Amino acid sequence: KGNYIRRYAFYDKKLRDSILGEQELKIDMHGALEKEQFEIYIQPKCKMEGKQVIGGESLVRWLHPVKGMISPKDFIPLFEKSGFIVKLDAYVWEKTCQLIAKWKKEGHEITPLSVNVSRINFFNPKLCDQLLELVQKYDIDPKYLELEVTESVYIQEATLIYGVLEKLQSLGFHILMDDFGSGYSSLNMLKDAPVDIIKLDLRFLSGDDKKGRGRDILSAVVQMAKVLRLQVIAEGVETEEQAKFLKDIQCDYAQGYYYSRPVPVDTFEKMVY
Ligand code: C2E
Ligand code: MG
Ligand code: MG
Ligand code: MG
């Protein structure tokens, strides 16, 4: 019995901590945008051959005055629950457009940047207009602002998102399916999914691969994407061995710690220009 109580108390404390932590973040998030506590980091996307940087992904960080730098994994779920993610995403998209516009003004050859689009945004009927107005405001070609939608949203919200994504494609935006392979994506889905680029996440191939099937599947997916005229980028590439394998199976692009971690904007600019 005593044991039961101790365990109960342990779980209770953990639960309380997590609720208190969430409560605090919830209170802080509203002021955080105005106080400019959110910062964009960019992770380079590289050509496998020669490691040339061909693009980047904008990833948000919360520079919390007390808790320090907080990873999106620790606040995105909370922000999605409260709906605040819509405001934060719009902020990240705008900062990203400002950056692209700056490069254009400086006469650089523009590096496309992708942004993440949370599933909650698709409940906003003005999503397309909002994105279009944004690229028009900064006078940039929509192809430079790539949109990442995670695979599970394609699966769970197909009826909600297909029309919207097709409209965005017709406006010139490029659509990436993020985290491909993380869920139960079927080949059938790719038949009519509105997508231009598939992001294959290597991290989902964890565990050993005694039969070599994991590698064969990756290789087949890359070939299939090519047949479907979709671009493929491998994500979560951490080792030279993985990079070599990806080259062998003719995967053309990669993103991962092996090439670079997400870096502050000025560091990214130094890498590219
Ligand atoms: P994601 O969109 O799949 O972004 C890639 C995540 O993988 C990033 O984590 C990146 O730092 C991490 N990563 C990249 N290469 C490697 C690698 O080689 N190994 C490992 N272990 N990890 C790698 P991050 O920045 O913590 O973001 C996590 C997730 O939070 C993102 O996953 C995305 O779903 C979400 N997120 C980030 N920024 C935003 C945003 O502005 N809006 C929305 N809605 N979601 C965001
Ligand atoms: Mg992403
Ligand atoms: Mg991903
Ligand atoms: Mg990922």
Tell me which of 38, 39, 59 to substitute to probe ligand 1's pocket, judged by most ligand atoms within 8 Å of the beta carbon.
59
Which of the ligands is closest to the CA of residue 255?
Answer: 1
Between the alpha carbon of residue 220 and those of residues 48, 214, 224, 226, 249, the distances in Å are 18, 10, 6, 10, 9
Q: What is the pLDDT of residues 69-89, one digit of tens each?
A: 999 999 999 999 999 999 999
CA distance 116 to 78: 16
Average pLDDT over residues 63-73: 92
Within 10 angstroms of residue 120's Cβ, the number of other Cβ atoms is: 17
CA distance 2 to 156: 44
Of all protein residues, whose CA lies closest to atom 12 belonging to ligand 1? 236
Mind giving me the DSSP string for 105-167?
A: HTTPPPPPEEEE--GGGGG-TTHHHHHHHHHHHTT--GGGEEEEEEHHHHHHTHHHHHHHHHH
pLDDT band at 211 (very low <50, low <70, confident <90, very high): confident
pLDDT band at 233 (very low <50, low <70, confident <90, very high): very high
Q: Is the ipTM of this complex over 0.90?
A: yes
Closest ligand 1 atom, residue 257 Cα? 18
Backbone angles phi, psi at 46, to 5 degrees: -120, 155
pLDDT band at 7 (very low <50, low <70, confident <90, very high): low
CB 54 within 8 A of CB 253: yes
- Is the pLDDT at 9 greater than 80, yes or no? no
pTM above 0.90, yes or no: yes
For 80, residues 6+ apart whose C-beta sits below 8 A from its C-beta are 118, 119, 120
In the structure, which protein residues have their CB atom closer than 6 angstroms to any atom of ligand 1?
43, 59-60, 71-73, 76, 85, 89, 92, 116, 118, 148, 178-179, 203, 236-238, 255-257, 262
